[in-house]
Amino acid sequence: MVGRVIVAGGGLVGRTIAVALASQSHLSVTLLAGPPPGRDERASAVAAAGRRLFSRIGVWPHVADVAQPIEDMVITDSRADDLIRPEALSFEGERGAPFAYMVPNAALYGALTDRCAALGITEIAASATYYTEAERTITVELDNGDTITGDVLVAADGRASRLRGIAGIGVVEKHYGQCGIVGTVAHEDPHYGRATQHFLPNGPFAMLPLTGNRSSIVWTERPQFAKTLVEMDPFIAGLEIERVFGLSLGRLTVEAPLMMHPLSAHLARDFARGRLVLAGDAAHGIHPLAGQGLNLGLRDAAALSEVLVDAGRQGEDLSLALPRYARWRRADAAQMLLVTDQLNALFSRRSDLMRAVRSIGLGLVDRRDKLKSLFIQEAAGIEGEIPRLMRGDAL
């Protein structure tokens, strides 16, 4: 009998899981996509390992034209009013290969949706409202009144996952008292694929290259300032961004209204229970300063696909593969959460002594090839136990 996987959640991670399973195995996949989402104007950093995943499952050719390689990155540690910001750390991809790409979320979503259709994945425009388990199956109730039965249920239904709550899986959560400001700016001069991150007292400011003379900003600030900024006239907001970033790319223009959202981190206490398994934001969320949020979800997708496909080939009950996935992915997500949390705490301390300590630490990394290589491998998503799809291998 063919194994049946139900994926609840039609976002980027849920669709990646569906496409990976359908393209790499004979498992039956049903996607509970929910209502159509509004257009997402953001862009995401896709690490080199994520590019390999998308290439292997047939998605990358559909976004390659709009994907901007990040050729190198510069990090500074300064005050917002510093006129000169010396580089504390810089690095570039190893052997000339970009360590990441900036891809518009809308383009990635469209490519994944097209692949779902091309692979014949059953897609239902409904959401899961409840589920019950039997000895060998799991039955899911939908908000349209229907039910569907499978072998395992993947909860990729977001940060406030309803299925996680039904399963009784608790969450450890931390609120930062900060807001993330995101948007797209056009600039006079080319960026040459360079990403810049300024660590400022209120939080990091990142300028991430997009195709053309455009960049995506990710700016961490105090909630009241963030609210004021997103409500400003775009012209005035552009001047404020210039004040913080400088004019190294020439004059800046805000292309669309800026958006803001409160920042927090969370980690589910378990990633699997019975025949239910968590992935993406349903399982974890981290501070955005490292740009690894989507990449953690893509690792979930690759790892989960790997253990399910292996179990299916061996004729096992698919649910027997879930504990291995949970151990594998929770350890990695917990480590990334701790690293980003500590980095945010370290760089948010305002004393001159702490700035001196940070400068010395970053300088040591910058001058030692092995340490720098480790940073690059982490940014590229090729550090640690890497799922086969993220190495570019078939399942």
Indicate whether 307 belongs to any domain: yes
Domain count across the chain: 1
* pLDDT number for residue 341: 84
Indicate whether 90 belongs to any domain: no
Indicate whether 288 belongs to any domain: yes
Range of the domain at 144: 4-39+105-173+264-348
Indicate whether 376 belongs to any domain: no
* pLDDT number for residue 352: 55
Residue 32 burial by Cβ neighbours in a 10 Å radius (0-12, 13-18, 19+)? buried
Distance CA 343, CA 347 (A): 6
Indicate whether 110 belongs to any domain: yes
* pLDDT number for residue 365: 44
**Among 45, 10, 37, 18, CA closest to 286:** 45
Indicate whether 84 belongs to any domain: no
44 close to 281: Cβ distance less than 8 angstroms: no
The answer for residues whose C-beta is within 8 angstroms of residue 172's C-beta and 6 or more apart is 266, 267, 269
* pLDDT number for residue 385: 80
- Output the CA torsion sign for 119, 122, 126, 130: negative
Distance CA 68, CA 59 (A): 16
Indicate whether 314 belongs to any domain: yes
Indicate whether 375 belongs to any domain: no
Report which residue type is found at 339: V
* CATH of residue 304: 3.50.50.60
- Output the CA torsion sign for 258, 262, 267, 272: negative
Report which residue type is found at 157: D
DSSP 94: G
* pLDDT number for residue 343: 76
* pLDDT number for residue 342: 79
* pLDDT number for residue 345: 74
245 close to 228: Cβ distance less than 8 angstroms: no
- Mean pLDDT by groups of 10 residues along the chain of 395 residues: 93 98 97 91 93 97 97 75 55 72 97 98 97 97 98 97 98 95 96 91 91 96 96 94 92 92 96 98 91 92 98 96 97 88 71 50 49 49 79 94
Distance CA 203, CA 248 (A): 20
What burial letters (b/e) apply to 305-320, b meaning 16+ CB within 10 Å?
bbbbbebbeeeeebbe
